[in-house]
Structure 1
Protein backbone atom coordinates (compact mmCIF):
# COMPACT_ATOMS: atom_id res chain seq x y z
CA UNK A 1 0.00 0.00 0.00
CA UNK A 2 0.94 3.62 -0.33
CA UNK A 3 2.82 5.66 2.28
CA UNK A 4 2.45 9.44 2.26
CA UNK A 5 5.52 11.52 3.13
CA UNK A 6 4.28 13.99 5.76
CA UNK A 7 7.27 16.35 5.89
CA UNK A 8 5.87 18.49 3.09
CA UNK A 9 2.81 19.43 5.13
CA UNK A 10 1.89 21.45 8.17
CA UNK A 11 -0.34 19.57 10.65
CA UNK A 12 -3.40 21.33 9.22
CA UNK A 13 -2.41 20.50 5.64
CA UNK A 14 -1.70 16.88 6.56
CA UNK A 15 -5.13 16.55 8.16
CA UNK A 16 -6.75 17.76 4.93
CA UNK A 17 -4.64 15.42 2.78
CA UNK A 18 -5.43 12.38 4.91
CA UNK A 19 -9.13 13.25 4.96
CA UNK A 20 -8.98 13.39 1.15
CA UNK A 21 -7.33 9.94 1.10
CA UNK A 22 -9.84 8.50 3.59
CA UNK A 23 -12.72 9.54 1.33
CA UNK A 24 -11.23 7.78 -1.69
CA UNK A 25 -9.46 4.56 -0.65
CA UNK A 26 -12.57 2.72 0.51
CA UNK A 27 -11.04 1.51 3.76
CA UNK A 28 -7.93 0.10 2.11
CA UNK A 29 -4.70 0.45 4.12
CA UNK A 30 -2.18 3.24 3.76
CA UNK A 31 0.63 4.71 5.86
CA UNK A 32 2.43 7.94 6.70
CA UNK A 33 6.14 8.65 7.16
CA UNK A 34 7.97 11.44 8.99
CA UNK A 35 11.58 12.65 9.13
CA UNK A 36 13.27 12.80 12.53
CA UNK A 37 17.07 13.19 12.12
CA UNK A 38 19.20 12.39 15.14
CA UNK A 39 20.92 15.78 14.99
CA UNK A 40 19.79 19.04 13.43
CA UNK A 41 21.19 22.54 13.28
CA UNK A 42 19.53 25.02 15.62
CA UNK A 43 18.88 28.62 14.69
CA UNK A 44 20.01 31.60 16.71
CA UNK A 45 17.16 33.02 18.74
CA UNK A 46 15.03 30.05 17.71
CA UNK A 47 14.85 31.10 14.04
CA UNK A 48 16.08 28.51 11.56
CA UNK A 49 15.79 30.86 8.59
CA UNK A 50 17.88 33.53 10.27
CA UNK A 51 20.55 30.91 11.00
CA UNK A 52 21.27 30.50 7.28
CA UNK A 53 24.55 32.36 6.64
CA UNK A 54 24.55 35.19 4.12
CA UNK A 55 27.31 33.49 2.14
CA UNK A 56 24.98 30.57 1.43
CA UNK A 57 22.07 32.83 0.50
CA UNK A 58 24.40 34.76 -1.78
CA UNK A 59 25.62 31.58 -3.44
CA UNK A 60 22.06 30.48 -4.25
CA UNK A 61 21.27 33.93 -5.64
CA UNK A 62 24.47 33.71 -7.72
CA UNK A 63 23.41 30.30 -9.12
CA UNK A 64 19.98 31.54 -10.08
CA UNK A 65 21.44 34.56 -11.83
CA UNK A 66 24.10 32.43 -13.55
CA UNK A 67 21.44 30.11 -14.98
CA UNK A 68 18.93 32.85 -15.75
CA UNK A 69 16.30 31.86 -13.21
CA UNK A 70 14.10 34.69 -11.87
CA UNK A 71 14.39 35.07 -8.09
CA UNK A 72 13.42 37.44 -5.32
CA UNK A 73 16.05 39.25 -3.30
CA UNK A 74 15.87 36.99 -0.25
CA UNK A 75 15.90 33.22 -0.37
CA UNK A 76 14.20 31.00 2.28
CA UNK A 77 10.99 32.79 3.11
CA UNK A 78 8.89 33.36 6.17
CA UNK A 79 7.44 29.87 6.16
CA UNK A 80 10.89 28.35 6.52
CA UNK A 81 10.94 28.11 10.32
CA UNK A 82 7.69 26.19 10.42
CA UNK A 83 8.82 23.88 7.61
CA UNK A 84 12.20 23.28 9.25
CA UNK A 85 10.68 22.29 12.56
CA UNK A 86 8.79 19.46 10.89
CA UNK A 87 12.08 17.54 10.93
CA UNK A 88 12.54 17.91 14.70
CA UNK A 89 11.15 15.41 17.22
CA UNK A 90 8.52 17.91 18.40
CA UNK A 91 7.54 18.86 14.87
CA UNK A 92 7.32 15.25 13.72
CA UNK A 93 5.19 14.36 16.74
CA UNK A 94 2.72 17.05 15.73
CA UNK A 95 2.39 15.29 12.37
CA UNK A 96 2.20 11.87 14.05
CA UNK A 97 -0.63 13.05 16.30
CA UNK A 98 -2.60 14.19 13.25
CA UNK A 99 -1.89 10.97 11.35
CA UNK A 100 -3.06 8.76 14.23
CA UNK A 101 -6.45 10.46 14.17
CA UNK A 102 -6.94 8.84 10.77
CA UNK A 103 -7.23 5.08 10.04
CA UNK A 104 -3.59 4.68 9.00
CA UNK A 105 -2.07 1.20 9.12
CA UNK A 106 1.60 2.16 9.37
CA UNK A 107 3.72 5.04 10.65
CA UNK A 108 7.33 5.19 9.46
CA UNK A 109 10.43 7.03 10.64
CA UNK A 110 12.27 7.68 7.39
CA UNK A 111 15.42 9.15 8.94
CA UNK A 112 16.74 8.12 12.35
CA UNK A 113 15.28 5.92 15.13
CA UNK A 114 11.63 6.60 15.95
CA UNK A 115 11.31 8.79 19.07
CA UNK A 116 9.92 7.04 22.15
CA UNK A 117 6.81 9.22 22.09
CA UNK A 118 6.14 8.12 18.51
CA UNK A 119 6.35 4.39 19.26
CA UNK A 120 4.28 4.77 22.43
CA UNK A 121 1.49 6.68 20.71
CA UNK A 122 1.50 4.35 17.71
CA UNK A 123 1.44 1.24 19.89
CA UNK A 124 -1.47 2.63 21.90
CA UNK A 125 -3.33 3.17 18.62
CA UNK A 126 -2.46 -0.32 17.35
CA UNK A 127 -0.41 1.05 14.46
CA UNK A 128 2.91 -0.68 13.58
CA UNK A 129 6.05 1.46 13.36
CA UNK A 130 8.54 1.06 10.51
CA UNK A 131 12.02 2.57 10.36
CA UNK A 132 14.53 2.86 7.52
CA UNK A 133 18.09 1.65 8.08
CA UNK A 134 21.22 1.74 5.94
CA UNK A 135 23.47 -0.42 8.13
CA UNK A 136 23.09 -3.39 10.45
CA UNK A 137 23.94 -1.12 13.38
CA UNK A 138 21.15 1.27 12.38
CA UNK A 139 18.70 -1.64 12.10
CA UNK A 140 19.52 -2.86 15.61
CA UNK A 141 19.12 0.70 16.91
CA UNK A 142 15.74 1.03 15.21
CA UNK A 143 14.47 -2.17 16.77
CA UNK A 144 15.77 -1.16 20.21
CA UNK A 145 13.84 2.10 19.77
CA UNK A 146 10.63 0.14 19.20
CA UNK A 147 10.37 -0.35 15.44
CA UNK A 148 8.09 -3.24 14.45
CA UNK A 149 9.40 -3.35 10.88
CA UNK A 150 12.84 -2.47 9.49
CA UNK A 151 13.24 -1.18 5.94
CA UNK A 152 16.77 -2.15 4.87
CA UNK A 153 17.61 0.50 2.31
CA UNK A 154 20.63 0.03 0.08
CA UNK A 155 22.89 2.80 -1.15
CA UNK A 156 21.43 2.70 -4.67
CA UNK A 157 18.10 3.95 -3.32
CA UNK A 158 16.84 7.48 -3.84
CA UNK A 159 16.73 10.00 -1.01
CA UNK A 160 18.62 9.70 2.27
CA UNK A 161 20.70 6.59 2.07
CA UNK A 162 23.97 5.04 3.13
CA UNK A 163 26.68 3.38 1.07
CA UNK A 164 26.01 -0.38 1.45
CA UNK A 165 24.22 -1.97 -1.50
CA UNK A 166 20.82 -3.65 -1.14
CA UNK A 167 22.21 -7.05 -2.16
CA UNK A 168 24.70 -6.92 0.71
CA UNK A 169 22.61 -5.11 3.29
CA UNK A 170 19.31 -7.02 3.26
CA UNK A 171 20.54 -10.50 4.30
CA UNK A 172 22.71 -8.97 7.02
CA UNK A 173 19.75 -7.07 8.46
CA UNK A 174 17.49 -10.12 8.17
CA UNK A 175 20.01 -12.10 10.23
CA UNK A 176 20.49 -9.32 12.77
CA UNK A 177 16.93 -8.44 13.81
CA UNK A 178 13.89 -10.43 14.88
CA UNK A 179 11.27 -8.28 13.17
CA UNK A 180 10.05 -8.34 9.56
CA UNK A 181 12.41 -6.70 7.08
CA UNK A 182 11.44 -4.93 3.87
CA UNK A 183 14.05 -4.39 1.15
CA UNK A 184 14.50 -0.97 -0.48
CA UNK A 185 16.86 0.38 -3.10
CA UNK A 186 17.04 -0.68 -6.74
CA UNK A 187 13.59 -2.28 -6.83
CA UNK A 188 11.36 -1.27 -9.72
CA UNK A 189 10.19 -4.53 -11.28
CA UNK A 190 9.13 -8.03 -10.35
CA UNK A 191 12.55 -9.59 -10.88
CA UNK A 192 14.01 -7.24 -8.28
CA UNK A 193 11.13 -7.95 -5.91
CA UNK A 194 11.78 -11.69 -6.27
CA UNK A 195 15.47 -11.10 -5.57
CA UNK A 196 14.57 -9.22 -2.38
CA UNK A 197 12.41 -12.12 -1.22
CA UNK A 198 15.27 -14.51 -1.98
CA UNK A 199 17.51 -12.41 0.29
CA UNK A 200 15.11 -13.00 3.17
CA UNK A 201 12.97 -9.87 3.05
CA UNK A 202 9.26 -10.17 3.77
CA UNK A 203 8.46 -7.60 1.09
CA UNK A 204 9.71 -4.47 -0.63
CA UNK A 205 9.56 -0.70 -0.19
CA UNK A 206 9.64 1.19 -3.50
CA UNK A 207 10.05 4.90 -4.16
CA UNK A 208 11.74 5.88 -7.42
CA UNK A 209 9.48 3.74 -9.60
CA UNK A 210 6.52 6.01 -8.83
CA UNK A 211 8.21 9.21 -10.03
CA UNK A 212 7.40 8.56 -13.68
CA UNK A 213 3.81 7.46 -13.12
CA UNK A 214 0.92 9.53 -14.41
CA UNK A 215 -0.11 10.37 -10.85
CA UNK A 216 3.33 11.47 -9.62
CA UNK A 217 3.91 14.95 -8.21
CA UNK A 218 6.92 15.35 -10.50
CA UNK A 219 6.44 17.99 -13.19
CA UNK A 220 6.43 17.13 -16.92
CA UNK A 221 9.87 18.75 -17.35
CA UNK A 222 11.32 16.69 -14.51
CA UNK A 223 9.67 13.51 -15.77
CA UNK A 224 11.45 14.04 -19.09
CA UNK A 225 14.80 14.31 -17.30
CA UNK A 226 14.08 11.13 -15.36
CA UNK A 227 13.06 9.23 -18.48
CA UNK A 228 16.27 10.31 -20.25
CA UNK A 229 18.56 9.48 -17.31
CA UNK A 230 20.74 6.40 -17.01
CA UNK A 231 21.72 4.64 -13.82
CA UNK A 232 24.99 6.59 -13.87
CA UNK A 233 23.16 9.92 -13.68
CA UNK A 234 22.53 9.97 -9.93
CA UNK A 235 24.75 11.17 -7.11
CA UNK A 236 24.74 11.12 -3.30
CA UNK A 237 24.86 14.77 -2.37
CA UNK A 238 24.15 16.97 0.66
CA UNK A 239 23.08 19.82 -1.61
CA UNK A 240 19.30 19.37 -1.15
CA UNK A 241 18.92 18.56 2.55
CA UNK A 242 22.29 18.76 4.31
CA UNK A 243 22.48 14.96 4.64
CA UNK A 244 23.69 12.54 1.95
CA UNK A 245 20.72 11.92 -0.34
CA UNK A 246 20.78 10.22 -3.73
CA UNK A 247 19.29 12.41 -6.43
CA UNK A 248 19.46 13.13 -10.12
CA UNK A 249 22.78 14.74 -10.94
CA UNK A 250 22.29 18.23 -12.33
CA UNK A 251 23.92 21.63 -12.49
CA UNK A 252 22.62 22.14 -8.94
CA UNK A 253 24.58 19.20 -7.49
CA UNK A 254 27.65 19.98 -9.59
CA UNK A 255 27.75 23.62 -8.45
CA UNK A 256 27.36 22.76 -4.76
CA UNK A 257 29.70 19.77 -4.72
CA UNK A 258 32.38 20.67 -7.27
CA UNK A 259 32.48 24.43 -7.79
CA UNK A 260 35.34 26.31 -6.13
CA UNK A 261 32.82 29.07 -5.35
CA UNK A 262 30.60 26.75 -3.30
CA UNK A 263 30.51 27.49 0.45
CA UNK A 264 29.64 23.84 1.13
CA UNK A 265 26.32 22.45 2.23
CA UNK A 266 24.75 23.44 5.55
CA UNK A 267 23.50 20.94 8.14
CA UNK A 268 19.90 19.75 8.07
CA UNK A 269 17.40 21.44 8.06
CA UNK A 270 19.13 24.69 7.05
CA UNK A 271 20.29 23.37 3.67
CA UNK A 272 16.85 21.90 3.08
CA UNK A 273 15.17 25.26 3.71
CA UNK A 274 17.59 27.07 1.43
CA UNK A 275 17.42 24.49 -1.35
CA UNK A 276 13.67 24.00 -1.38
CA UNK A 277 13.09 27.73 -1.51
CA UNK A 278 15.29 27.87 -4.63
CA UNK A 279 13.86 24.74 -6.22
CA UNK A 280 10.35 26.10 -6.12
CA UNK A 281 11.53 28.87 -8.43
CA UNK A 282 13.65 26.48 -10.50
CA UNK A 283 10.72 24.13 -11.07
CA UNK A 284 8.38 26.89 -12.20
CA UNK A 285 11.00 28.30 -14.57
CA UNK A 286 11.82 24.84 -15.94
CA UNK A 287 8.15 24.25 -16.75
CA UNK A 288 8.11 27.58 -18.59
CA UNK A 289 10.93 26.33 -20.83
CA UNK A 290 13.85 28.14 -19.17
CA UNK A 291 16.96 26.13 -20.24
CA UNK A 292 19.02 27.22 -17.24
CA UNK A 293 16.32 26.09 -14.84
CA UNK A 294 16.06 22.79 -16.68
CA UNK A 295 19.81 22.29 -16.20
CA UNK A 296 19.49 22.97 -12.43
CA UNK A 297 16.33 20.92 -11.86
CA UNK A 298 16.67 17.61 -10.07
CA UNK A 299 14.84 15.31 -7.68
CA UNK A 300 15.53 12.50 -5.24
CA UNK A 301 15.80 9.29 -7.24
CA UNK A 302 17.73 6.02 -7.09
CA UNK A 303 19.99 4.30 -9.59
CA UNK A 304 17.00 2.34 -10.82
CA UNK A 305 16.11 5.48 -12.77
CA UNK A 306 17.89 3.82 -15.69
CA UNK A 307 14.95 1.39 -15.92
CA UNK A 308 12.31 4.12 -15.96
CA UNK A 309 11.70 4.82 -19.63
CA UNK A 310 7.93 5.17 -19.94
CA UNK A 311 5.16 7.10 -18.17
CA UNK A 312 2.56 4.64 -16.85
CA UNK A 313 -0.44 4.67 -14.53
CA UNK A 314 0.50 3.62 -11.00
CA UNK A 315 -2.02 0.76 -11.25
CA UNK A 316 -0.14 -0.67 -14.22
CA UNK A 317 3.19 -0.45 -12.37
CA UNK A 318 1.75 -2.41 -9.43
CA UNK A 319 0.28 -5.13 -11.63
CA UNK A 320 3.45 -5.49 -13.69
CA UNK A 321 5.62 -5.84 -10.58
CA UNK A 322 3.36 -8.53 -9.12
CA UNK A 323 3.01 -10.37 -12.44
CA UNK A 324 6.75 -10.36 -13.12
CA UNK A 325 7.59 -11.37 -9.56
CA UNK A 326 5.29 -14.39 -9.84
CA UNK A 327 6.73 -15.42 -13.21
CA UNK A 328 10.28 -15.02 -11.88
CA UNK A 329 9.54 -17.20 -8.86
CA UNK A 330 7.99 -19.83 -11.16
CA UNK A 331 11.12 -19.79 -13.31
CA UNK A 332 13.36 -20.20 -10.27
CA UNK A 333 11.23 -23.05 -8.94
CA UNK A 334 11.67 -24.76 -12.30
CA UNK A 335 15.45 -24.59 -11.93
CA UNK A 336 15.30 -26.77 -8.81
CA UNK A 337 13.47 -29.68 -10.45
Structure 2
Protein backbone atom coordinates (compact mmCIF):
# COMPACT_ATOMS: atom_id res chain seq x y z
CA UNK A 1 0.00 0.00 0.00
CA UNK A 2 1.23 3.54 -0.80
CA UNK A 3 3.06 5.09 2.18
CA UNK A 4 0.91 8.20 1.97
CA UNK A 5 -2.25 6.12 2.06
CA UNK A 6 -0.99 4.30 5.16
CA UNK A 7 -0.34 7.64 6.84
CA UNK A 8 -3.79 8.94 5.98
CA UNK A 9 -5.44 5.74 7.19
CA UNK A 10 -3.65 6.06 10.52
CA UNK A 11 -4.80 9.68 10.76
CA UNK A 12 -8.35 8.63 9.98
CA UNK A 13 -8.27 5.96 12.67
CA UNK A 14 -6.94 8.43 15.22
CA UNK A 15 -9.54 10.98 14.17
CA UNK A 16 -12.29 8.43 14.59
CA UNK A 17 -11.15 7.68 18.11
CA UNK A 18 -10.92 11.35 19.01
CA UNK A 19 -14.35 12.14 17.62
CA UNK A 20 -15.91 9.51 19.82
CA UNK A 21 -14.39 11.28 22.82
CA UNK A 22 -15.45 14.79 21.82
CA UNK A 23 -18.89 16.11 22.74
CA UNK A 24 -20.65 18.14 20.09
CA UNK A 25 -19.69 21.78 20.80
CA UNK A 26 -22.31 24.48 21.11
CA UNK A 27 -23.07 26.73 18.18
CA UNK A 28 -23.33 29.64 20.60
CA UNK A 29 -23.16 30.33 24.31
CA UNK A 30 -25.89 31.41 26.69
CA UNK A 31 -29.53 30.45 27.15
CA UNK A 32 -30.16 30.15 23.42
CA UNK A 33 -27.20 27.85 22.80
CA UNK A 34 -27.84 24.88 20.55
CA UNK A 35 -25.81 21.75 20.07
CA UNK A 36 -25.46 19.39 17.18
CA UNK A 37 -28.01 16.60 17.54
CA UNK A 38 -27.37 12.96 16.66
CA UNK A 39 -28.94 12.29 13.27
CA UNK A 40 -28.71 10.04 10.27
CA UNK A 41 -25.37 10.61 8.61
CA UNK A 42 -26.06 12.16 5.19
CA UNK A 43 -24.00 14.50 3.09
CA UNK A 44 -26.73 17.15 3.16
CA UNK A 45 -27.17 16.91 6.92
CA UNK A 46 -23.48 17.17 7.61
CA UNK A 47 -23.11 20.09 5.24
CA UNK A 48 -25.93 21.86 7.06
CA UNK A 49 -23.91 21.48 10.26
CA UNK A 50 -20.77 22.75 8.51
CA UNK A 51 -22.64 25.71 7.07
CA UNK A 52 -24.12 26.65 10.45
CA UNK A 53 -20.81 26.28 12.25
CA UNK A 54 -18.93 28.37 9.69
CA UNK A 55 -21.56 31.09 9.93
CA UNK A 56 -21.78 31.48 13.68
CA UNK A 57 -19.79 28.81 15.47
CA UNK A 58 -16.64 29.03 17.52
CA UNK A 59 -13.28 28.05 16.00
CA UNK A 60 -13.44 24.81 18.00
CA UNK A 61 -16.84 23.95 16.55
CA UNK A 62 -15.70 24.78 13.04
CA UNK A 63 -12.72 22.44 13.38
CA UNK A 64 -14.98 19.75 14.82
CA UNK A 65 -17.53 19.73 12.00
CA UNK A 66 -14.84 19.75 9.34
CA UNK A 67 -13.06 16.81 10.94
CA UNK A 68 -16.33 14.97 11.40
CA UNK A 69 -17.17 15.48 7.72
CA UNK A 70 -13.76 14.11 6.70
CA UNK A 71 -14.24 11.02 8.85
CA UNK A 72 -17.79 10.41 7.65
CA UNK A 73 -16.84 10.89 4.00
CA UNK A 74 -14.70 7.75 4.13
CA UNK A 75 -17.86 5.65 4.33
CA UNK A 76 -20.20 7.85 2.28
CA UNK A 77 -21.05 7.07 -1.35
CA UNK A 78 -18.71 8.96 -3.65
CA UNK A 79 -21.65 9.88 -5.88
CA UNK A 80 -23.33 11.80 -3.06
CA UNK A 81 -20.17 13.73 -2.26
CA UNK A 82 -19.56 14.57 -5.92
CA UNK A 83 -23.14 15.70 -6.42
CA UNK A 84 -22.89 17.97 -3.39
CA UNK A 85 -19.60 19.38 -4.67
CA UNK A 86 -21.16 20.20 -8.03
CA UNK A 87 -23.99 22.12 -6.31
CA UNK A 88 -21.91 23.97 -3.72
CA UNK A 89 -21.22 27.68 -4.29
CA UNK A 90 -20.11 28.82 -0.84
CA UNK A 91 -16.27 28.87 -0.87
CA UNK A 92 -15.83 27.93 2.79
CA UNK A 93 -18.26 25.01 2.61
CA UNK A 94 -16.79 23.88 -0.70
CA UNK A 95 -13.32 23.86 0.85
CA UNK A 96 -14.50 21.66 3.72
CA UNK A 97 -16.35 19.30 1.37
CA UNK A 98 -13.42 19.20 -1.07
CA UNK A 99 -11.00 18.36 1.75
CA UNK A 100 -13.24 15.46 2.77
CA UNK A 101 -13.41 14.25 -0.83
CA UNK A 102 -9.62 14.52 -1.19
CA UNK A 103 -9.13 12.44 1.95
CA UNK A 104 -11.51 9.83 0.59
CA UNK A 105 -9.60 9.79 -2.71
CA UNK A 106 -6.35 9.16 -0.83
CA UNK A 107 -7.75 6.37 1.29
CA UNK A 108 -9.53 4.72 -1.64
CA UNK A 109 -6.48 5.23 -3.89
CA UNK A 110 -8.86 6.69 -6.45
CA UNK A 111 -7.48 10.00 -7.79
CA UNK A 112 -10.37 10.36 -10.23
CA UNK A 113 -12.54 11.44 -7.31
CA UNK A 114 -10.82 14.84 -7.28
CA UNK A 115 -11.36 15.57 -10.99
CA UNK A 116 -14.39 17.80 -10.31
CA UNK A 117 -12.41 19.61 -7.62
CA UNK A 118 -9.56 20.25 -10.05
CA UNK A 119 -12.10 21.51 -12.58
CA UNK A 120 -13.45 24.02 -10.03
CA UNK A 121 -9.90 25.08 -9.14
CA UNK A 122 -9.04 25.88 -12.73
CA UNK A 123 -12.33 26.90 -14.31
CA UNK A 124 -14.83 28.34 -11.82
CA UNK A 125 -15.77 31.93 -12.57
CA UNK A 126 -15.55 32.91 -8.86
CA UNK A 127 -11.93 33.40 -7.74
CA UNK A 128 -12.88 32.68 -4.13
CA UNK A 129 -14.28 29.30 -5.20
CA UNK A 130 -11.15 28.57 -7.26
CA UNK A 131 -8.98 29.33 -4.23
CA UNK A 132 -11.18 27.20 -1.96
CA UNK A 133 -10.92 24.28 -4.38
CA UNK A 134 -7.13 24.58 -4.39
CA UNK A 135 -6.99 24.77 -0.58
CA UNK A 136 -9.17 21.64 -0.37
CA UNK A 137 -6.20 19.69 -1.76
CA UNK A 138 -3.86 20.84 1.01
CA UNK A 139 -1.91 18.15 2.90
CA UNK A 140 -2.91 15.44 0.40
CA UNK A 141 -0.81 13.84 -2.38
CA UNK A 142 -2.20 16.44 -4.76
CA UNK A 143 0.76 16.42 -7.18
CA UNK A 144 0.22 12.69 -7.62
CA UNK A 145 -3.52 13.28 -8.04
CA UNK A 146 -2.86 15.77 -10.84
CA UNK A 147 -0.43 13.47 -12.61
CA UNK A 148 -2.78 10.46 -12.43
CA UNK A 149 -5.59 12.60 -13.80
CA UNK A 150 -3.57 13.21 -16.93
CA UNK A 151 -1.88 16.49 -15.97
CA UNK A 152 -4.86 18.43 -17.31
CA UNK A 153 -4.59 20.73 -14.27
CA UNK A 154 -1.19 21.40 -12.69
CA UNK A 155 0.19 23.80 -10.14
CA UNK A 156 2.32 25.61 -12.70
CA UNK A 157 -0.96 26.43 -14.47
CA UNK A 158 -2.83 27.40 -11.31
CA UNK A 159 -0.01 29.65 -10.10
CA UNK A 160 -0.67 31.94 -13.07
CA UNK A 161 -4.26 32.56 -11.94
CA UNK A 162 -5.31 36.22 -11.96
CA UNK A 163 -6.40 35.95 -8.31
CA UNK A 164 -3.76 36.52 -5.59
CA UNK A 165 -5.80 34.23 -3.33
CA UNK A 166 -5.46 31.32 -5.75
CA UNK A 167 -1.74 31.93 -6.22
CA UNK A 168 -1.19 32.01 -2.46
CA UNK A 169 -3.16 28.76 -2.09
CA UNK A 170 -0.88 27.08 -4.63
CA UNK A 171 2.22 28.02 -2.65
CA UNK A 172 0.66 26.99 0.67
CA UNK A 173 -0.37 23.61 -0.79
CA UNK A 174 3.05 22.72 -2.12
CA UNK A 175 4.81 23.82 1.06
CA UNK A 176 2.41 21.77 3.19
CA UNK A 177 2.55 18.73 0.91
CA UNK A 178 6.33 18.66 0.91
CA UNK A 179 6.56 19.00 4.69
CA UNK A 180 3.47 17.26 6.05
CA UNK A 181 2.88 14.46 3.56
CA UNK A 182 6.40 13.57 2.44
CA UNK A 183 8.69 15.18 5.05
CA UNK A 184 10.63 16.82 2.23
CA UNK A 185 11.63 13.54 0.55
CA UNK A 186 9.43 13.50 -2.56
CA UNK A 187 11.10 14.52 -5.81
CA UNK A 188 7.88 15.11 -7.76
CA UNK A 189 6.50 17.54 -5.17
CA UNK A 190 9.76 19.47 -4.96
CA UNK A 191 10.06 19.66 -8.74
CA UNK A 192 6.42 20.74 -8.99
CA UNK A 193 7.29 23.60 -6.65
CA UNK A 194 10.28 24.58 -8.78
CA UNK A 195 8.15 24.47 -11.94
CA UNK A 196 5.45 26.57 -10.29
CA UNK A 197 8.04 29.11 -9.13
CA UNK A 198 9.39 29.36 -12.69
CA UNK A 199 5.86 29.85 -14.06
CA UNK A 200 4.78 32.35 -11.42
CA UNK A 201 4.51 35.99 -12.38
CA UNK A 202 4.16 36.87 -8.69
CA UNK A 203 7.68 37.04 -7.20
CA UNK A 204 6.40 36.70 -3.64
CA UNK A 205 4.75 33.37 -4.49
CA UNK A 206 7.85 32.14 -6.32
CA UNK A 207 10.02 33.17 -3.37
CA UNK A 208 7.83 31.26 -0.93
CA UNK A 209 7.97 28.12 -3.06
CA UNK A 210 11.75 28.16 -3.38
CA UNK A 211 12.42 29.29 0.15
CA UNK A 212 10.14 26.85 1.97
CA UNK A 213 9.92 23.65 -0.11
CA UNK A 214 12.66 21.06 0.43
CA UNK A 215 15.08 20.66 -2.49
CA UNK A 216 16.87 17.57 -1.17
CA UNK A 217 15.45 15.23 -3.85
CA UNK A 218 15.33 17.39 -7.00
CA UNK A 219 17.00 16.41 -10.24
CA UNK A 220 19.50 18.34 -12.41
CA UNK A 221 16.86 20.13 -14.50
CA UNK A 222 15.20 21.53 -11.38
CA UNK A 223 18.57 22.65 -9.99
CA UNK A 224 19.16 24.52 -13.26
CA UNK A 225 15.77 26.21 -12.98
CA UNK A 226 16.53 27.31 -9.42
CA UNK A 227 19.95 28.62 -10.48
CA UNK A 228 18.30 30.78 -13.15
CA UNK A 229 16.26 32.47 -10.43
CA UNK A 230 19.51 33.88 -8.98
CA UNK A 231 19.23 36.44 -11.80
CA UNK A 232 15.63 37.40 -11.00
CA UNK A 233 14.84 41.10 -10.77
CA UNK A 234 13.22 40.75 -7.33
CA UNK A 235 15.83 40.51 -4.53
CA UNK A 236 13.57 38.43 -2.28
CA UNK A 237 13.25 35.87 -5.06
CA UNK A 238 17.02 35.85 -5.60
CA UNK A 239 17.52 35.28 -1.87
CA UNK A 240 15.02 32.43 -1.82
CA UNK A 241 16.73 30.83 -4.81
CA UNK A 242 20.03 31.01 -2.93
CA UNK A 243 18.42 29.38 0.08
CA UNK A 244 17.00 26.65 -2.16
CA UNK A 245 20.38 25.96 -3.79
CA UNK A 246 21.82 25.32 -0.35
CA UNK A 247 19.53 22.31 -0.01
CA UNK A 248 20.10 20.54 -3.35
CA UNK A 249 21.41 16.95 -3.52
CA UNK A 250 25.10 16.22 -3.18
CA UNK A 251 25.51 15.44 -6.87
CA UNK A 252 24.60 19.04 -7.68
CA UNK A 253 26.49 20.67 -4.82
CA UNK A 254 29.67 21.59 -6.71
CA UNK A 255 27.87 23.62 -9.35
CA UNK A 256 25.50 25.12 -6.78
CA UNK A 257 28.46 26.20 -4.65
CA UNK A 258 30.10 27.99 -7.59
CA UNK A 259 26.83 29.77 -8.36
CA UNK A 260 26.43 30.92 -4.75
CA UNK A 261 30.00 32.19 -4.51
CA UNK A 262 29.52 34.15 -7.75
CA UNK A 263 26.23 35.49 -6.41
CA UNK A 264 27.84 36.66 -3.17
CA UNK A 265 30.56 38.49 -5.07
CA UNK A 266 28.31 40.15 -7.63
CA UNK A 267 24.98 40.87 -5.89
CA UNK A 268 25.08 43.94 -3.67
CA UNK A 269 21.78 43.31 -1.87
CA UNK A 270 22.50 42.42 1.80
CA UNK A 271 19.61 39.94 2.08
CA UNK A 272 20.78 38.12 -1.05
CA UNK A 273 24.36 37.98 0.19
CA UNK A 274 23.17 36.67 3.56
CA UNK A 275 21.16 33.93 1.84
CA UNK A 276 24.16 33.04 -0.35
CA UNK A 277 26.31 32.57 2.76
CA UNK A 278 23.67 30.35 4.31
CA UNK A 279 23.50 28.27 1.13
CA UNK A 280 27.29 27.91 1.06
CA UNK A 281 27.35 26.82 4.70
CA UNK A 282 24.60 24.28 4.16
CA UNK A 283 26.18 22.78 1.06
CA UNK A 284 29.57 22.31 2.64
CA UNK A 285 28.82 22.09 6.36
CA UNK A 286 32.24 21.88 8.06
CA UNK A 287 33.91 21.76 4.63
CA UNK A 288 32.54 25.21 3.85
CA UNK A 289 35.05 26.99 6.09
CA UNK A 290 37.72 27.69 3.39
CA UNK A 291 35.11 29.05 0.99
CA UNK A 292 33.62 31.34 3.64
CA UNK A 293 37.07 32.53 4.71
CA UNK A 294 37.88 33.41 1.09
CA UNK A 295 34.87 35.73 1.00
CA UNK A 296 36.06 37.95 3.84
CA UNK A 297 36.49 41.50 2.67
CA UNK A 298 34.22 41.28 -0.36
CA UNK A 299 31.71 43.28 1.67
CA UNK A 300 33.00 44.45 5.05
CA UNK A 301 29.46 44.91 6.31
CA UNK A 302 28.87 41.19 5.78
CA UNK A 303 32.04 40.00 7.51
CA UNK A 304 30.29 39.58 10.90
CA UNK A 305 27.86 37.21 9.16
CA UNK A 306 30.78 35.18 7.84
CA UNK A 307 32.38 35.10 11.29
CA UNK A 308 29.13 33.84 12.82
CA UNK A 309 29.01 30.99 10.32
CA UNK A 310 32.66 30.13 10.95
CA UNK A 311 32.04 30.05 14.71
CA UNK A 312 29.00 27.84 14.30
CA UNK A 313 30.80 25.50 11.91
CA UNK A 314 33.68 25.11 14.37
CA UNK A 315 31.31 23.16 16.65
CA UNK A 316 31.20 20.35 14.05
CA UNK A 317 27.45 19.90 14.39
CA UNK A 318 26.19 17.20 12.03
CA UNK A 319 22.57 18.27 11.75
CA UNK A 320 21.72 21.29 9.60
CA UNK A 321 18.89 22.50 11.85
CA UNK A 322 21.21 22.48 14.86
CA UNK A 323 23.88 24.38 12.94
CA UNK A 324 21.38 26.97 11.71
CA UNK A 325 20.01 27.44 15.21
CA UNK A 326 23.49 27.98 16.61
CA UNK A 327 24.37 30.50 13.94
CA UNK A 328 21.14 32.40 14.58
CA UNK A 329 21.95 32.47 18.27
CA UNK A 330 25.32 34.03 17.50
CA UNK A 331 23.77 36.75 15.33
CA UNK A 332 20.87 37.84 17.54
The answer to which structure has the higher helix fraction is: 2
Short-chain TM bin: under 0.3
* Larger RCO: 1 or 2 (CA < 8 Å, sep 6+): 1
Q: Give TM-score scaled by structure 2 length.
A: 0.26
Rg (Cα) greater in structure: 2
Structure with greater strand percent:
1
Normalised TM-score (structure 1)? 0.26
